[in-house]
Amino acid sequence: MPTMTTVRTPEDWPTTEEQARAVQDELRARVILDEPGPPPGTGRVTGVDVAYDDERDVVAAAAVVLDASSLAVVAEATAVGRVSFPYVPGLLAFREIPTVLAALDALPCPPGLVVCDGYGLAHPRRFGLASHLGVLTGLPTIGVAKNPFTFAHDEPDTPRGSTSALLAGSEEVGRALRTRDGVKPVFVSVGHRVTLAGACAHTLALTPRYRLPETTRRADALCRQALRQTYSV
């Protein structure tokens, strides 16, 4: 079993919407968009995801490292902490980042590219969880979401690998990507230190059998397991 870390919310963590937006504004300026990122299918790739227990105000995070070529699990870690911010659309990263960072920090090896179940630039303030995590850790990050949030897109063509632009007005903030023939697309956006084309290529490399990346599927299962185990001891 992975080690589980118990997390405290940092003392300087934002407590109001105004403070959180100020942090987003400051950190957004540090996002790097002109690096290609690691080649898909090489090195390591790590999925992060969270599960909530709203009644107890607890969040569990998981980080699962895969070998990018074989998709075999290399390492995994979990962390459990208090939800660190109220529910506010556009500020969800503040609810979970301390716990996600703790799970990443508990890994016994470098994570390589980090794949978030959520958004990077495809965010109303162009600074979703993938961008936030990337800036704080310095790691290349991408967001692969299950729905398009508030953005418009045309349906991609039917074959796997087809894409269409995810648009905020005329600005492309991500892409709808078909990972299975004829199956609902996923929504890919850059987090930090990766191109959009690279983010889509990584996503295709991580979806040999299912709609969602293996990183997300494994991290989702592990964070739910961690949440259950928190109350079974």
The two three-digit tokens of residue 147, written as one number = 């729905």
Span 1-47, pLDDT tens digits: 565 778 888 888 999 999 999 999 999 999 999 999 999 999 999 99
Which of 78, 74, 46, 66 has its CA nearest to residue 225?
78
The stretches of the chain forming alpha helices (DSSP H) are 17-28, 93-105, 129-137, 196-205, 214-230
Q: Is 117 labeled as ligand-binding?
A: yes
Cα 218 off chain centre by: 13
Measured between alpha carbons, how far is 206 from 119 in angstroms, rounded to an integer?
Answer: 17
Separation of CA 165 from chain center: 20
Determine whether the annotation assigns residue 220 to a binding site.
Answer: no
Calpha distance 110→218 (Å, rounded): 18
Tokens at 122, concatenated: 């495809």
Report pTM: 0.94
Write out pLDDT tens, residues 156-195. 999 999 999 999 999 999 999 999 999 999 999 999 999 9
